[in-house]
Chains A and B, each alone.
Chain A
Amino acid sequence: MKRWLLATLCIGFTIFLAACNNEASSESSGNDGKTVIEYWHVNAETQGGQTVTQLVDDFNKQSDTVEVVAKYNPDMYKGLMQNMQAEAAAGNSPAVVQIGWAFLNYFSENFEYVSPQTVIDKHFPEEKTFLKDHFLPNVMDLAKNAKGDQVGIPYSLSSPVLYINRDMLKEAGLDENGPQTWEEVKSFSKEIKERTGKYGFYFQEPADNWATQALLESNGASFLTDGKATFASDEGIEAYQLLTDMIVKDKTALHIGWDQGVQSFIDGSVAMAYTTIAQRSNIQDNAQFDVAAVRSPIWEGKDAKLPAGGAMLAITAQEEEKQKAAWEFMSYLYSVEAMAEWTKGTGYVPPRHDVADAENGLKEYLKENEMMTAAIEQMDGVVPWASFPGDAGLQAEQLLLDLRDQLLKGSVSPKEGLEATEDEVNELLQ
């Protein structure tokens, strides 16, 4: 009898909870006639998630017409695309989405979107020149697809920087301002290994080719020329050779996953780490040594060419009313104050050119946070992230990742590997 009572209680409790649950969810969708739109982002709590929440809350408070619901998508831009995929298959779409640069072409070829300028022209004629006034052309170009259409507006901009452990450099008797060139990175790394026994360098290894592109293109190679893969040029091979030598031959660089690599830099097991400026607050807050971020190394006698990382905002709302609401929200996100908050919360470089020096922008902040300076200074040399066009674009991207695994393991030489992969990619892209 007691057991039955217990079971009944359990079921009763469950139903009670379920009821609470329903009530709460219907409550949250109550919104006095406002247009409700969804904003999809990838910002985990460690990567600006709190800033997203704050910006969205502030926006909702001040807007009488629009209510934004933010949805976090795990697993970065890839994860967001997966969710978009499922959503599109079900015939729905959010209103505003963050699209990672690697997905620029795939997104524009497969999803319904409207160019922000179109929405502005139609509903907000007074803001007609907003984009022209506040964004540099080379920055706007980042969000143009292979056909030259303006798909969205750059939002989260990052660039790769070299983080250095000054204490370890000093210990090894090296210049504590860090290496300027990739050649120096290699020799520094060797010195460090010899003098301290620890690893000299870590080159980020996420599931994309962003940092690799910076390494190769700074040496004069180019990933894509007229829609064809051209990374296997002499310069490309030379650049990759340097990295593989450090890992496979010298064994002075650490070959490991991204999280683990950063963990090892922060605890002082690796002296230098080449990774995104978005890691700044994580590294700055947790490293217990004299840490600095310096500009991305160049190749002897050449200019740096750094792909912009991060994402753009695109409008995927289908109904006019929602498109209008989407821009209302976006123009809020692109205001100087909101942009400044965004940079503070994430470490991203502001895409608007007039935020860094503005009093209500980042002026004070940058004075206090020197580590950001390197990233902002090198924005002049920023180039678009190579996004392979066509249906097979993502497979091409994947082939390059597979190649990285093979090269860093030492199972093929950079020359062989790059040439074979280039052929394979071009066959796919046809």
Chain B
Amino acid sequence: MRISRHAETIWHFIFMVTVLVMVFPIIYAFGMSFKPLEDAYNNVLNILPINASLENYRTLFASLPVLKITMNTFVVASVATVFKLVTSFLAAYAFVYFKFKGKEVIYFLLIGTIFIPFTVTMIPNYLIISEIGMLDSVWGVILPQLADAVGIFLIHQAMKNIPGSLIEVARLDNMGHGRIMKDIVLPLVRPAVTSVGIWFFIGTWNEFVWPVLVLKTTENYTLPLALQMFISSEGGTNFTVAMAVSVITMIIPLILYLSFQKYIIGTFTSSGIK
């Protein structure tokens, strides 16, 4: 190894600074959520509050059905994730192991949707959801998100790496497609599927623009919408309560991440997303 100590120290310094920039806002949000608003305005630098209190959380729980909202968010995120994974897996399987007319065109069309600005789909989707009476319901939020082009793409990439001979042998054994998927392909692409799934979950968990349009009553809100209730340009933003909502919004993804950290990073590393 010819890497000088010097260079290594410099790199450590660069990474430490980057880590600080990345992590500081999260610590700051946590700190602020326990401070009185007055304190937040007047002692911006004091991250760890001297007179910590749960006041902001009390305000929050008093004005919103937080548990219900958290549950809604969970339902939206998990249902959308499960469906996206299933549809993406099936589509990817079709693209990798079948040859049919128009395959390239369909693939290109589906993957091309990654580039479609959401402004295009927002209003027509709203009309559809309204037409079938799903406004103000988490199902209305979920329905347009049951398939995903990124998912198809990533799982497709992972499947391409499976040696064809495995499938060949299975077919010779007269194995059905259902069993091939379940017993051969899925175990081999599981890291990819899991990492894509985590990504979907976080994405829908934090989603904002579309739920704002669909959901109306606070009982049906998801967490990112609850955040909006404490932000008002005219009356002033209640920054500390907003941070308390932020902390609640963050906490589940963060707990998930921190407790499965090794597994999640390991999953991404072995996902064969290439």
**Residue numbers in B under 8 Å from A47 (CB-CB):** 232, 234-236
**Residue numbers in B under 8 Å from A267 (CB-CB):** 41-42, 44
CB of A428 closer than 8 Å to a CB of B = no
Contact of A76 among B63, B74, B75, B234 (CB under 8 A): B234
CB of A20 closer than 8 Å to a CB of B = yes
CA distance A346 to B135 in the complex (A): 30
Taking CB atoms and an 8 Å cut-off, the chain A residues in 346-367 that contact chain B are 346-347
**Residue numbers in B under 8 Å from A44 (CB-CB):** 228-232, 235
Determine the residue in chain A with the shortest Cβ distance to B227.
A74
- Of A11-19, A144-152, A248-256, the one touching chain B: A11-19
CA distance A285 to B219 in the complex (A): 30
Check A18 against B238 for contact (C-beta < 8 Å). no
CB of A377 closer than 8 Å to a CB of B = no
| Most chain A beta carbons < 10 A, residue from B37, B216, B218 | B216
- Of A110-118, A185-193, A274-282, A290-298, the one touching chain B: A274-282
Taking CB atoms and an 8 Å cut-off, the chain A residues in 82-99 that contact chain B are 83, 86-87, 89-92
**Residue numbers in A under 8 Å from B241 (CB-CB):** 45-46
| Most chain B beta carbons < 10 A, residue from A46, A71, A75, A346 | A46
Contact of B123 among A69, A89, A91, A347 (CB under 8 A): A89
**Residue numbers in A under 8 Å from B234 (CB-CB):** 47, 76, 158, 206, 276, 278-279
**Residue numbers in B under 8 Å from A72 (CB-CB):** 218, 229
**Residue numbers in A under 8 Å from B264 (CB-CB):** none
CA distance A399 to B135 in the complex (A): 34
- B159 CB, nearest partner CB in chain A, Å: 20
Interface of B is mostly: helix
Check A74 against B225 for contact (C-beta < 8 Å). yes
Q: Per-residue CB proximity of A45-70 to B under 8 Å, as 1/0?
A: 11111100100000000000000010
Check B233 against A90 for contact (C-beta < 8 Å). no
- Using known A-B contacts A46-B238, A53-B63, determine if residue A90 contacts B126 with beta carbons closer than 8 Å: yes
Contact of A46 among B217, B218, B232 (CB under 8 A): B232
Check A17 against B74 for contact (C-beta < 8 Å). yes
Check A46 against B72 for contact (C-beta < 8 Å). no
CB of B267 closer than 8 Å to a CB of A = no
CB of A177 closer than 8 Å to a CB of B = no
Determine the residue in chain B with the shortest Cβ distance to A49.
B229
Interface of A is mostly: helix
For chain B, the count of residues having a C-beta within 8 Å of the partner chain is 43
Contact of B235 among A11, A24, A74, A346 (CB under 8 A): A346
Check B230 against A46 for contact (C-beta < 8 Å). yes
**Residue numbers in A under 8 Å from B229 (CB-CB):** 44-45, 49, 72, 74
CB of A21 closer than 8 Å to a CB of B = yes
- Using known A-B contacts A17-B75, A21-B75, A90-B130, determine if residue A282 contacts B212 with beta carbons closer than 8 Å: no
- What number of residue pairs across chains A and B have CB atoms under 8 A from each other? 128
Determine the residue in chain B with the shortest Cβ distance to A347.
B235
CB of A25 closer than 8 Å to a CB of B = yes
| Most chain A beta carbons < 10 A, residue from B78, B219, B236 | B236
**Residue numbers in A under 8 Å from B127 (CB-CB):** 89-90
CB of B79 closer than 8 Å to a CB of A = yes
Check B72 against A21 for contact (C-beta < 8 Å). yes
Check B235 against A83 for contact (C-beta < 8 Å). no
Determine the residue in chain A with the shortest Cβ distance to B214.
A86
CB of A180 closer than 8 Å to a CB of B = no
Taking CB atoms and an 8 Å cut-off, the chain B residues in 222-257 that contact chain A are 225, 228-238, 241
Contact of A21 among B71, B233, B237 (CB under 8 A): B71
CB of A332 closer than 8 Å to a CB of B = no
Check B78 against A14 for contact (C-beta < 8 Å). yes
Check B213 against A11 for contact (C-beta < 8 Å). no
CA distance A206 to B238 in the complex (A): 17
- A232 CB, nearest partner CB in chain B, Å: 28
CB of A369 closer than 8 Å to a CB of B = no
CA distance A87 to B71 in the complex (A): 26
CA distance A286 to B238 in the complex (A): 10
CA distance A46 to B78 in the complex (A): 32
CA distance A43 to B63 in the complex (A): 13
CB of A266 closer than 8 Å to a CB of B = yes
- A37 CB, nearest partner CB in chain B, Å: 13
- A353 CB, nearest partner CB in chain B, Å: 24
CB of B131 closer than 8 Å to a CB of A = yes
Check A92 against B130 for contact (C-beta < 8 Å). yes
CA distance A342 to B131 in the complex (A): 36
Question: Besides A21-B71, A71-B216, A278-B234, 18 other CB < 8 A contacts?
Answer: A14-B78, A14-B79, A18-B79, A24-B219, A44-B229, A45-B241, A49-B63, A53-B63, A69-B217, A72-B218, A76-B234, A89-B127, A91-B130, A207-B233, A266-B41, A267-B42, A268-B42, A347-B235
Interface residues of B (CB under 8 A from A): 37-38, 41-42, 44, 59, 63, 68, 71-72, 74-75, 78-79, 82, 123, 126-127, 130-131, 135, 137-138, 212-213, 216-220, 225, 228-238, 241
Q: List 15 A-B contacts (CB under 8 A).
A: A10-B78, A24-B68, A44-B231, A45-B238, A46-B230, A46-B238, A47-B235, A69-B216, A86-B123, A87-B130, A89-B126, A268-B42, A276-B234, A288-B38, A346-B235
